[in-house]
Amino acid sequence: MNSYLVFAILIVFGIGCLIGIIPVIQNFPFPVGYDSINYYLPALYDLNSNPVIGGTLFPVYVFLVYSFHLVSFSDLYLAFNVVNIVLYGSLSITTFLLFTAVLRQSVNKSILFTIFVILQLSALRMAWDLHRDILALVCLNLSLVTLNHFRSNHFNKSAVLQYVTISVLYLATLFSDRMMGVLLIISSIFFSIRFKLLLLITINLLLLTLFLTYFFLLDDITFVSVGLNPVDTLVNPVYNKNSLSPYDLLVLQLSLYGILIPFFIVGFLKKSNSLILKIPTLVTILLSFSWLLIPNHSYLVPERWIILSGFFVSIFSIYGFFLVADRLVNSKLRNLVSVLFVSSFMAYGILFIVLPYGIVFTIPSIFQTQTGLTIPLSMSFNSLEIFKNQDLVNSIDWINTHTRNNAEIIGTMHWRGWFHLFLEKPRQYIFSETVSLPSNYSKIDKNGTTLDDNLKTKIDLKCGKAEDDTNTNSISENERNIYLIDSKSAYYDNYSSYPIVYDSEYILIYELPDLICGRSLFN
């Protein structure tokens, strides 16, 4: 490896890390990303409190962050941010390697192409909160680069090293994320059959068996969950939980990278030795259109495949654009068109990173009704606007100090991570998965049965002695201590019949005093 190539790798790594660090610094100390607060951080702190039983179904990312935390003696939240920044720098490196090793582009072009790709909305959307996907995509890209050198069945020391490397990368990908695992297995099987790589076919079959065994036995959140017929789950209206309609998904896809499609077609159809890159590209595009054939398509998460396909589409798009631009005879015109095209997309991505939440400027944000939170308005958001985060934390502190130990707090599912991290036990946070936004609760009134059924079943209405509380002299045995927390909005007068016990700039907490044995909101 020559010194200039090493220097180029350091450049793209530095640029990737810079892109990753900007939203972290801009929004510190609050986390960036919906899954960051509702999934990753709770999982990490659970692991920190009980390492024996901690972890997740696809645990590589969580254990990577936790291991760095232990080795570096750093704060766990700091370790989380550092690993995410380095991962985006690593994604930048592997994207650069795809251009140089697979598409055979020059080092200078590969640097430019890489910057273009990692500033695309699809890549930035993954960087926002799909950190497990970023890790798996890094491993997937490295697998594709390694596979690109497989062309024969000769068995020697070099071949052994390649097969060991590819096996390690396979395992890292498979146990990082199910989507990337599926994508890698499909791509590798097609590639090994195409070039008749018998040993690679054997490795693929072994890893496929391992993955499917692990997936079917332990994964209880997809259409293959135990106790359900997978085919029936995908087609029976009883199991329909589609949150995005086919129209919504089509709008999402076109708004995310529709403008790049003409250049993608040019780059994808160009004859080259890039089959190993074309296979996963085609697979992600096909799976992003699963809604055409599958009625209950949400189980196949087509919106996630749309985001992932955007990464591969952008690779072939920038490649295809320069194939078209290079045909311009006038060099000045060619350079001008190239600079305008690349710089406009770079500015587009940078604005998505740095602008405060609430400004509609990206194409997906114009179609918020269809795209929802699949693509946020900007990266300065988690489960609510960053400037509201401190207010929510303060409200949870108020609950910890002003409510009894047996208190139950009703709220939106979007705040579950905050309460998981900050609510003092044995207080409980009760949320409903059917509540879509903090301001969209069903109206609760004393006559009401309007609270959704999922939330009703989560509130235990049995009579029983209340827990002891040192802050109170006496508690009625039958008394329930239930509160409702909501963000201030045009709808906050929905609960005007209940006393407000906490009123801040953005948050309201209501006490629901009539929840006692024999009486409830639901009768």
Sign of the dihedral through C-alpha 404, 405, 406, 412: positive
Residue 139: is its pLDDT beyond 80? Answer: yes
Give the closest residue to 215 by CA, choosing from 180, 183, 175, 188: 175
Determine the pLDDT at residue 474: 41
Kindly report which listed range (293-302, 342-351, 459-468) carries the lowest average pLDDT score: 459-468
Whether residue 199 contacts residue 155, with contact meaning beta carbons closer than 8 Å, is answered with yes
Q: How many CB atoms lie within 10 A of CB 193?
A: 12
Res 434: pLDDT: 40
pLDDT tens-place string over residues 248-286: 999 999 999 999 999 999 999 988 778 899 999 999 999
Structure tokens at 391: 């207010």
The phi, psi pair for 446, rounded to 5°, reads -70, -20
- Judged against a pLDDT cut of 60, whether residue 441 lies above it is answered with no
Residue 234 has pLDDT above 50, yes or no: yes
What pLDDT band is residue 495 in, cutting at 50, 70 and 90? low
pLDDT bucket at 182, cuts 50 / 70 / 90: confident
Distance CA 31, CA 240 (A): 32
Confidence grade of residue 359 (pLDDT, cut at 50, 70, 90) = confident
Q: Under a CB-based contact definition with an 8 Å cutoff, are residues 292 and 246 in contact? A: yes
pLDDT in tens, 80-136: 999 999 999 999 999 999 999 999 999 999 999 999 999 999 999 999 999 999 999
What is the average per-residue pLDDT within 406-420?
91
Whether residue 515 is predicted with pLDDT greater than 60 in this model: the reply is no
What are the residues whose beta carbons fall under 8 Å from the beta carbon of 440, sequence distance 6 or more? 491
Nearest 10 degrees: Cα torsion 406, 411, 417, 418: -80
Quickly tell me which residue has 């791509």 as its tokens: 187
Do residues 69 and 79 make contact, with C-beta atoms less than 8 angstroms apart?
A: yes
**Does residue 521 carry a pLDDT above 50?**
no
pLDDT at res. 496: 63
Residues with Cβ within 8 Å of residue 312, at least 6 apart in sequence: 277, 280, 281, 284, 285
Calculate the average pLDDT of the chain. 83
pLDDT value, residue 470: 41
3 state DSSP class of 432: strand
Q: Could you give the percent of the chain with pLDDT greater than 90?
A: 49
Length of the chain, in residues: 523
Query: What pLDDT does 157 receive?
Result: 75
For the chain, give the percent of residues with pLDDT over 70.
Answer: 82
Instruction: Return the amino acid letter for 367.
Output: F
- The answer to whether 283 and 181 are in contact (CB under 8 A) is no
Distance CA 404, CA 424 (A): 11
Residue 145 pairs in a beta bridge with: none
Q: Which helix (H) or strand (E) holds 482?
A: strand 482-487
**What pLDDT was estimated at residue 220?**
59
Task: Please state, in angstroms and rounded to a whole number, the distance separating the CA atoms of residues 341 and 329.
Answer: 18
Amino acid at 384: L
Whole-angstrom distance, CA of residue 399 vs CA of residue 408: 10
d(CA 325, CA 330): 10
Give residue 363's pLDDT band: very low, low, confident or very high (50, 70, 90): very high
Please name the amino acid found at residue 461: L
